[in-house]
Amino acid sequence: MEDKKSLRAPVSQKPHVIPKPEHPEYLGGSITVEINEKKLTVPFGTTILEACRQAQIHIPTLCHHEDLCVAGVCRVCVVEVEGMRTLQASCAFPITAPIKIKTTSNAVRKARKHIIDLLISEHYGECYSCFRNNNCELQSLAKEYGVDHYNFGHVTQPRYEVDNSSYSVVRDMDKCVLCKRCVRTCIDLQEVGVLEAINRGHNTHIGTFLDKPLAEVICINCGQCINRCPTGALRANDPRDEIWNAIDDPTKHVVIQTAPSPRAAIGEEFGQGPGKSFTGELNTALRRIGFDKAFDTNFAADLTIIEEGTELILRLYKALVKKEKVALPQFTSCSPGWVKYLEHFYPEYIDNLSSAKSPQQMFGALIKTFYAQKTGIDPANIVSVALMPCSAKKFECNRPEMNSSGYKDVDYGLTTRELAQMIKEAGIFLPEMPQSHFDDPFGEASGAGLIFGATGGVMEAALRSVIEFVTGKRVEDVYANADITPVRGFEGIRYAEIPIAEVGSVPKLLQHLIPDWNWLKGATLKIAVAHGTANAKKVMEDIKAGGKFSECHFIEFMACPGGCLGGGGQPIPTNEQIRKKRAEAIYNEDKSLPVRKSHENRHVSELYEMFLTDGPCGHNSHKLLHTHYVKRGKYIA
Amino acid sequence: MENHLTVKLGEKKDRKGPVIFSEYKRGDAIRKALSMSREDILFELKDSKLKGRGGAGFLTSTKWMLTAAAKAEKKFIICNADEGEPGTFKDRVLLMEYPELVFDGMVVGGYTIGAQLGIVYLRGEYEYLLKPLEDYLEEMRKGNLLGKNILGKEGFDFEIKIVLGSGAYVCGEETALIESLEGHRGEPRNRPPYPINTGFLGRPTSVNNVETLAAVSHIVVKGGKWFAKYGTDKSSGSKLFSVSGDCERPGVYELPWGTKVSELLELVGAKNAKAVQIGGASGHCIPKPQFEKTLAYEDIPTGGSVMIFNDNRDMLKVLKNFMEFFVDESCGQCTPCRIGNVKLLEGVEMIEKGNYTFAHINKLKDLGRTMQLASKCGLGQSSPNPFISILENFKDEIFNRGNGGRNGR
C-alpha cells in the first residue's frame, strides 16, 4: 500500500491507495465481485464505489470528491459486504478479495435515510434562502431519499457567526455538514492547510488556527474549498448588490472585462454540458443586463505577455550580458492565489515574481486612465467590474497598491457563478442570446490571451511571442499550428527546454532596450509549468534545494488545479473531467481566432504608440502596469 | 488515587488468580522466547487460543502472525494502555503491580513479529505512572532486557518508549491511537487497511491490550496448553475484571472465562444488585433474570468492566450518564456517531421529562441499530448498546416513572 498524497494530511484524511496492477489480466490482477448478484471483474484494489460506478449502480455520496483523498466520514455511501458485521463505506473500501456486495438492502437503505435525517437535523436554514438552492448535494440526497419531514428535529437557531472577514471566501458554518472536503482541499489538494476540524464530538466544527477570521490567517483565497463544498457553507464574497446599484445609477459608467475561463464554463450554470464557450452570447447578455461596455480581458493578457516577456528578456540580458545579480527563474504573477501563496510560504522569493500586474489589474489601470481620457469620462464615475473564474481576484483588486490610476483600479471582482446569477435575475437565458463582439478600443484580443485560462497557457502565449521576437521565425514553423504542446496538458508539473539555434533581429518594440540577440544564440530556454499550489510547493522546494527547477528561466504557476478554468469562482461542480472539457473549449476557440499571438494584437501596438509611448517596461508602463509584493510570511500577528 | 510520589512499581497487593496473578519473574518470558524460534512462539500462542483482552477479542496469534508475515523494514508493537472505558482499571493495576508481565510481553512480541520499537500509549490520566514506568524500563535496560542484542541474542534489538495520551476516549481505538501517536487528531482511520500492514507511520503494527501482553508472558513460559486449560472452549484462559459500584469488595479480580455473573456478584459481595453493566459504557446492561449468563466471548463478551447497580439506582440516570459520555467522547468524524448520540441523549431527556412518544423512542432505537451498523469505528458501533439494552431490560422501571409528566402514549 502506498500513500499517494502529501505527508501533511493525516492518514485518516488520506487515501490508502492500492496501486493498480499494471496487467490486470495476469493472475491475481483482477477480482470478480458480485454486486447485487451481478458479476463484475475489476482490477485489484478498486474501491467498491468505483466498481459500482463501473457497473452503473448508483451509490449516493457526500464526503467523497473525485479530486480529493478518501475520508469515509459521512457514511452515506455504506453498502453491505457479505460476511462483515457492519456496513462498509464503499468509497473507502478497496476490493482485495472476491466479495459479495449488496447496495440496496433494507439495512443499507435505512442507514442512508437515517444519516441524511441526522445531517438535515443539524443543517441550519431553509433551502429557499440559500444560494446553493438546486445545486446542493445535501438537498439532492434529501430528495433522492424522499425526506418529507424532520425525523429528528431541526436546528432553529444559528450557532456560529458568519465569517465574512475575507474579501474572497465567506464561511457560514451553520450550513456545514462536516464532510471535511474543504479541509482535505486545503491541506491535501492545495497543501495550504488553513482549515481543520476543531474540538470533538458534537462540538466539532471546521475552523482556522485559533478560530481566527479567515482574513487573518494564511488563506490564499484560491476558493477551491468553495468549489468542493457540497452545501452552502462556503461561498465567495458576493458583490452583486453593489454592481446592480452601480448599473441602476445613471451617473455611473459601468464597464466589465471578462476573463477567458468564465466564457468556457458559464454555460454549465444554464444546464449546458461543459466544454462549450458562450463568448458572443455573453457579450450580448452583459449589455442587456446594463453594463455600458463589455471588454475582453484577453487584450490585457496580450499586454501582460509583452510586459512580462520583456521583463524576462531584460532579466536574462542583465544576468547573461551585464552579469548583474537578478532573481531567476522569473515566476508568473497572473494568479493572485499563487502570489499570496508565495508571499506567505516563500516570502524570500518575491523578487522572482514578475512585477507585471495580472491582466485584470492592468486592464483596470488602463480603463481609468487611457479609456477615460479617450472617451472623456471622469474616472471617478467609472465602475470597473472584472468577470473572473476566481475568488482570489476579489482580494487582488482590493490590495492597497492596486490604485495606479488614482482610483481603485478594479472596483469589483465578480465570479462566473455570480454573473450567471445576475443574468438569471435579468430574465435572460444565456444560451439563446444572439452573439455580439467585444467593445473597442480593446475589442481585439489574440488566442494567446485566451489560453491564459488553461494551465500552461501563459507559458504558451509567452513562448509564441518570445520565439518570434528572438528567432525571427514564425512559431508555426517550429510548432505545428502554433500549438506549443510540450507545455499543454494536466500533468501537475511540466518541464521543457527550448533551444535557440539561431537568432533574428530585434523587433522595433524592444530596440531601445536590447541591441541584438547574439547573446542568446545557442542558448537553451528552460521553462516549467505548475498548477495547484501542492505542485507549486514541489517546484519551490526543488528550487530551494538547488534542483533542476532552480536552473529554469521562467516558470508559470497557477494556484488552482487546471489553471484558471478550474478556479474557485467557476460553476460547481468542478472535477477533472469538467476541467478537461473547459480546456478543450478554450483551445478550440483559440484555434478559430484570426490573431493568435499577443504581439500581433493591433490594439496592443496602438496602445504602445499612443499611450505607453516609452514602450514595454518603460516609465509609463511601470507606473500603470507593474506592481510590488508583500513579504507576508506564515506568522501573522 | 495514588499520589505519584507513593507509586512504587512492582509492589504487589495480595492478589490471587490462576493465570495472570500466578508466579512470574521478570525476564522469564524473554529468556524463554529467545531460546525459541518465532514460529514456535506463534504456535504456542495458537495453542493458547488467546484472544485480545481489550474487548474485541481478535485472536492474538493471528494478529501477530499477520504482522510477522508483513514485509517491511520497520515494524512496531504498541501496548494500548489508553484504559478509558468507564469502570475499567485493571490495566493500571497491571502496570503498577505487574509491569514485568506487560513489558516482557512487549519484548516477546517485538521478537516474534520482528519489531524494533515498542510504544506504550499511556492514558493521559495515568501521567503519575510515567516516571515510575520509565525508571522501570531503565532497570530493564541495565539488565539487558531492552536495548541491543538482548540477553546476548545477536541481532535482536528492541526498545520501548512511553507516549502519553491526551485524554480522548476514542484514542483507545487502535487506528485513532496510531493517528494520535503520529501527532494528528485522534480520529479512527478507514479499515481496511488494518494496522497489521498499514499502521504506525504506514508500517506493519500490532496493537495489543495491556492484559493481552501480560497473558503472553505467562503463555510463553508455561505453554499454550496450560493457558487453554482455563476458561471455556471458545474463551480460553482467565480474565481480569474491574469491579465497581454497589458491592462490598470492589477491585480487580482474576476469574476464568465462563464464570457466571451471579458467581462474580457473590464473590464481590454485591447484594440487592438489580443490574450489571458489563463491558463499560459501550457494553451491555444485564438485568437480574440474566445473572446466570456467563462471562465469555460466546455469551457476554467484555473488556473487563463490571459496574453493579443495586435496587436504589435509577436506571434512566445510569443511561443518561452513559449517553452524555458518548456525546462528549465521540470524535465527531462520522455522522451516525456525532449526531446520533446527541439524538439518543435527547431521547433520554424526553423520557426524563415525561415528554415523549413510544413512536419516537422506537424510532431512536432503530437509529441506534443504524449507528451500530454504519458508524466508522467501534465507538459509534457500540455507543447505542446501553440505550438499546437499558430501555429494553428496564422498560417497566423507566416507562412507569412517577415523574408527574405525560408518560409515553
- ipTM summary value: 0.93
pLDDT for B406 equals 46
Query: Residue A60 — φ and ψ, nearest 5°?
Result: -70, 145
Confidence of residue A362 (pLDDT cuts 50, 70, 90): very high
- Cα–Cα distance measured from residue B19 to residue B239, given in angstroms and rounded to the nearest whole number: 9
pLDDT for A441 equals 84
Residue A637 domain-assigned (yes or no): yes
- Cα–Cα distance measured from residue B325 to residue B338, given in angstroms and rounded to the nearest whole number: 12
pLDDT for B408 equals 44
Model confidence pLDDT, tens digit, residues A426-478: 999 999 999 999 998 888 889 999 999 999 999 999 999 999 999 989 999 98
Answer yes or no: do B375 and A110 touch at CB < 8 A.
no
Domain CATH for A69? 3.10.20.740
User: For cell 478554450, what's the residue?
Assistant: A586
Residue A123 domain-assigned (yes or no): no
Nearest CA in chain A to B332: A201
pLDDT for B55 equals 83
- Residue B87 gets the label, from left (phi > 0), alpha (psi -120 to 50) or beta, of left
Last residue of a domain, one of A236, A271, A300: A236
Answer yes or no: do B381 and A86 touch at CB < 8 A.
yes
Q: Classify domain B315-399 by CATH architecture.
A: Up-down Bundle (1.20)
Residue A140 has a CB neighbour count (10 Å cut-off) of 14
The answer to whether A35 contacts chain B (CB < 8 Å) is no
- Cα–Cα distance measured from residue B393 to residue A260, given in angstroms and rounded to the nearest whole number: 68
The answer to whether A44 contacts chain B (CB < 8 Å) is no
Confidence of residue A26 (pLDDT cuts 50, 70, 90): confident
User: For cell 504542446, what's the residue?
Assistant: A485
DSSP element (H, E) containing A34: strand A30-35
Average pLDDT of the segment spanning A394-414: 95
**CB neighbours of A457 closer than 8 A, spacing ≥ 6?**
A450, A451, A563, A586
Of B182, B190, B331, the CB nearest to A89: B190
Residues in B whose CB is inside 8 Å of some CB of A read: 168, 175, 178-179, 182, 184-185, 187-190, 192-193, 197-198, 202, 327-336, 338-343, 346, 363, 366-367, 370, 372-376, 381
Per CB-CB distance under 8 Å, the chain A contacts of B363 are: 151-152
Confidence of residue A369 (pLDDT cuts 50, 70, 90): very high
The answer to whether A486 contacts chain B (CB < 8 Å) is no
Considering the domain architecture, whether residues A295 and A230 belong to the same structural domain is answered as: no
Give Cα B83 to chain centroid, integer Å. 7
Q: How far is A16 from chain B (nearest CA, A)?
A: 7
Nearest CA in chain A to B328: A201
Average pLDDT, chain A: 93
Answer yes or no: do B198 and A12 touch at CB < 8 A.
no
Considering the domain architecture, whether residues A458 and A335 belong to the same structural domain is answered as: yes
Q: How far is A599 from chain B (nearest CA, A)?
A: 52
pLDDT for A6 equals 45
Residue A390 domain-assigned (yes or no): yes
Mutate to test the interface with B, among A2, A4, A11, A179 (most CBs of B within 10 A): A11
Confidence of residue A11 (pLDDT cuts 50, 70, 90): low
Last residue of a domain, one of A194, A220, A236: A236
Nearest CA in chain B to A91: B190
Per CB-CB distance under 8 Å, the chain B contacts of A12 are: 175, 179, 184-185, 187-190, 333
**Half-sphere CA count of B403, side-chain side, radius 13 A:** 19
Nearest CA in chain A to B364: A152
Of A10, A75, A118, the CB nearest to B179: A10
Of B178, B179, B373, the CB nearest to A87: B373
The answer to whether A187 contacts chain B (CB < 8 Å) is no
Answer yes or no: do A202 and B330 touch at CB < 8 A.
yes
- Cα–Cα distance measured from residue A611 to residue A369, given in angstroms and rounded to the nearest whole number: 10
Residue B9 has a CB neighbour count (10 Å cut-off) of 17
pLDDT greater than 80 at residue A161:
yes
Average pLDDT of the segment spanning A613-628: 93
Residue A125 domain-assigned (yes or no): no
The answer to whether A19 contacts chain B (CB < 8 Å) is no
Listed residue (B261, B384, B218, B401) closest to B317, CA to CA: B401
Nearest CA in chain A to B329: A201
The answer to whether A201 contacts chain B (CB < 8 Å) is yes
The domain containing residue A587 runs over which residues? 238-637
Per CB-CB distance under 8 Å, the chain B contacts of A201 are: 327-332, 338, 341
pLDDT greater than 60 at residue A15:
no
- Cα–Cα distance measured from residue B13 to residue A84, given in angstroms and rounded to the nearest whole number: 43
Q: How far is B146 from chain A (nearest CA, A)?
A: 30
Low-confidence ranges of chain B (pLDDT < 70): 1-6, 402-409
The highest-level CATH class for domain B238-310 is alpha beta
Q: How far is A559 from chain B (nearest CA, A)?
A: 26
CB pairs under 8 A between A and B: 136
Give the residue with greater pLDDT, A547 vs B402: A547
- Cα–Cα distance measured from residue A334 to residue A342, given in angstroms and rounded to the nearest whole number: 13
pLDDT for B4 equals 53
- Cα–Cα distance measured from residue A12 to residue A188, given in angstroms and rounded to the nearest whole number: 12
Considering the domain architecture, whether residues A232 and A349 belong to the same structural domain is answered as: no
- Cα–Cα distance measured from residue B44 to residue A392, given in angstroms and rounded to the nearest whole number: 64
The residues of chain B that CATH labels 3.40.50.11540 are 28-229
Answer yes or no: do A93 and B192 touch at CB < 8 A.
yes
Considering the domain architecture, whether residues A232 and A243 belong to the same structural domain is answered as: no
Average pLDDT of the segment spanning A327-349: 97
Per CB-CB distance under 8 Å, the chain B contacts of A119 are: 335, 339
- Cα–Cα distance measured from residue A384 to residue A404, given in angstroms and rounded to the nearest whole number: 14
**CB neighbours of A283 closer than 8 A, spacing ≥ 6?**
A294, A435, A436, A437, A438
User: For cell 465497581, what's the residue?
Assistant: B244
- Cα–Cα distance measured from residue A209 to residue A551, given in angstroms and rounded to the nearest whole number: 36
Considering the domain architecture, whether residues A578 and A507 belong to the same structural domain is answered as: yes
CA distances from B222 to A5, B19, B41, B238, B257 (A): 47, 10, 12, 14, 19
Query: Domain B28-229: which topology?
Result: Rossmann fold (3.40.50)
Q: What is the 8-class DSSP label of residue A434?
A: P
Helix (H, G, I), strand (E, B) or coil at A496: strand
Of B184, B202, B332, the CB nearest to A204: B332
Q: What are the residue numbers of the active site of A?
A: 308, 311, 334, 354, 393, 396, 401, 564
Listed residue (A121, A122, A116, A133) closest to A61, CA to CA: A116
Considering the domain architecture, whether residues A298 and A156 belong to the same structural domain is answered as: no
**CB neighbours of A56 closer than 8 A, spacing ≥ 6?**
none
Confidence of residue A21 (pLDDT cuts 50, 70, 90): confident
pLDDT for B7 equals 73
Q: How far is A75 from chain B (nearest CA, A)?
A: 7
Contact A369, A384 (CB under 8 A): no
Considering the domain architecture, whether residues A478 and A513 belong to the same structural domain is answered as: yes
pLDDT for B108 equals 98
Residue A167 domain-assigned (yes or no): yes
Residue A198 domain-assigned (yes or no): yes
Count structural domains, chain A. 3
Considering the domain architecture, whether residues A219 and A258 belong to the same structural domain is answered as: no
**Half-sphere CA count of A111, side-chain side, radius 13 A:** 31
Of A3, A118, A122, the CB nearest to B336: A118
Instruction: Give the strands of the sheet with A330-331, arranged side by side.
Output: A330-331, A554-558, A524-531, A493-499
Considering the domain architecture, whether residues A212 and A251 belong to the same structural domain is answered as: no
Considering the domain architecture, whether residues A165 and A273 belong to the same structural domain is answered as: no
Considering the domain architecture, whether residues A484 and A516 belong to the same structural domain is answered as: yes
Answer yes or no: do B332 and A96 touch at CB < 8 A.
no
The answer to whether A3 contacts chain B (CB < 8 Å) is yes
Answer yes or no: do A107 and B202 touch at CB < 8 A.
no
Contact A123, A231 (CB under 8 A): yes
- Cα–Cα distance measured from residue A241 to residue A253, given in angstroms and rounded to the nearest whole number: 16
Domain CATH for A366? 3.40.50.1780
Considering the domain architecture, whether residues A308 and A351 belong to the same structural domain is answered as: yes
Q: How far is A85 from chain B (nearest CA, A)?
A: 7
pLDDT greater than 70 at residue A403:
yes
The residues of chain B that CATH labels 3.10.20.600 are 238-310
Q: Where in A224-290 does DSSP place strands (E)?
A: 234-236, 253-258
